[in-house]
Structure 1
Amino acid sequence: MAIENVWIEEGCISCGMCVQECPEVFKMDNALAVVKEDVDFNEYEESIKRAADICPAGIIKFS
């Protein structure tokens, strides 16, 4: 499945696990996780899926 969009819904608890799992796609900004711009999500598909799976708040989404 090709990933075209990645987003983070409200509720980030600032744990940084997504950044540890996939720093190419996620970064911390003002203590909240955000998705970096201009990233080829398909290149990091497996890491994005793992980051979504390990997010304790369950707020990382992709389509």
Structure 2
Amino acid sequence: MGKRSGVPHRDDELAALSLEELQAELARARLRLTIPTSAKMTKLFHKRIHWLESAIAARD
């Protein structure tokens, strides 16, 4: 997955986001799954969604 500025890729970057920003990033990742891509990209976005959901659950 390519790096985009402003998009968290590490735990410390994720910790700096507000809950609303986390939820927006999760929605973006879920939307990205609807775009047909390779199996590798699908797997990466599933892992990203799990990572984001875990971060949100830890804050609740």
Q: What band does the TM-score fall into relative to the shorter chain?
A: 0.3 to 0.5
TM-score (norm 2): 0.37
Greater C-alpha radius of gyration:
2
TM-score (norm 1): 0.36
Q: With a CA cutoff of 8 Å and minimum separation of 6, indicate the structure with the bigger relative contact order.
A: 1
